[in-house]
Amino acid sequence: MYFHKVNSFSVLPLFLAAVNGLAVPTTSRLQTRDVYSPKILTPTTGTVWQANSIAQVTWDTSNPPAHITNPQGTIFLASPNSTSEIWILVNHPLASRVNLTLGLAKIRVPNVPTGTNYTVVLMGDSGNCSPMFTIQSGSGSPSSSDDSESILLV
């Protein structure tokens, strides 16, 4: 009996053909999903938050879809960089598991450098940004953002 030498490259096409034969097309349809993207009402331009204080984020709940795909949201602090791209601090959310149907969440304002270019982002099914507002740094040194991962909001 004679056995042929087989290397991995000669078996690869057979393997791929076998795997391709296992793929079965499905006839199920995608479910319609509602996207809930409520407008943020506060903070607004002119709002001033003090670091380490309690503040309130509010959003419009007057027109929710019949079935909200994801009723829980997360609130993040964001700030544009020098090129006006908005960066979200994802490792330190201001609030998590927020019920989007309530229309408000109380948060503790982080101790960040004083600035007039902060925004909050409400993420659930979609993401909304508030207008730019001010945070005034509290006493002590501002939190370091070196350990914060940020992502670009497009």
CA angle 148, 56, 114 (to 5 degrees): 50
Where residue 118 sits, what CATH number does that domain have?
2.60.40
pLDDT at position 78 is 92
Query: Would 116 be classed as within a structural domain?
Result: yes
Q: What is the pLDDT of residue 133?
A: 96
Question: If DSSP codes are grouped into helix, strand and coil, which group holds residue 105?
Answer: strand
Residue 69's pLDDT is: 75
Phi (first) and psi of residue 68, to 5 degrees: -80, 120
Question: Which of 81, 136, 86 shows the shortest CA–CA distance to 111?
Answer: 136
Q: List, for the chain, all residue ranges whose pLDDT scores fall below the cut of 70.
A: 1-28, 30-34, 82-84, 125, 139-154
Show the tokens assigned to 94: 């201001």
Give the tens place of pLDDT for each residue, 66-86.
877 778 899 999 987 766 677
Task: Please indicate, yes or no, if residue 89 is contained in any of the structural domains.
Answer: yes
Domain residues for the domain of 147 are 40-153
76 within a domain of the structure (yes/no): yes
- How many domains in the chain? 1
Sign of the dihedral defined by the CA atoms of residues 114, 123, 54, 130, in that order: positive
